[in-house]
Structure 1
């Protein structure tokens, strides 16, 4: 594993939206220092770094970096109580056909990040603050 990946993983999960600007900037700098593509080992280690929310879009950058490595990173459906980002990774891999059909059908292919909620609720709701944060505008929806 490269040193910059090891440093990022060693600091643990991304902070939540209540973290200081300095802490978020520090993690952004660490993440930017990691050049893709990542190895399978690095991608697996990086999956442990998702925090409780999107960290003003930093989690999306982490997800995209993980996806530069060999896919799928996750080979089983995440448990219902797993981090939402693991569900997003699984859903994207399943929808892209990267998960063998027998695994996806045996384990129940996930088609929605938040089962039981209307599809407009969640990560990609048009007009939601998360969408604007993903584009780097740092908009906070209150």
Structure 2
């Protein structure tokens, strides 16, 4: 299952993404928001991140105006590696090298067509492990050092 969430600035693209994912036969759990009325992106970044961190959902997608604020919020949750991607190359590298488990996109930065390509790449790319696994473990060790890991 894919967790998805957005603030008001990502709401329209989120609706398009949900339709795109469901047409591909994927299950989606929508954590809001449900309109273009102004809301605070950290609330939705946290909700999606907690669903991924707890393994309720396999991966997550977050959308705000730029993708920056919502990805920063998600990355505060232990075990989350949210990657802000503006093209499919970044999405592929975020999965292969960083084992990213949440994709962040900016509605004001990319349109639906580019977003769909980014999402497809993100969801269909596997983590390479090896030396990259060692680096991801170092990220986990940073969380442990600051007592923020589970």
Larger Rg: 1
Q: Normalized per residue, which structure has more strand?
A: 2
| TM-score where L is the length of structure 2 | 0.29
- Answer 1 or 2: higher relative contact order, Cα 8 Å, separation at least 6: 2
TM-score by length of 1: 0.30
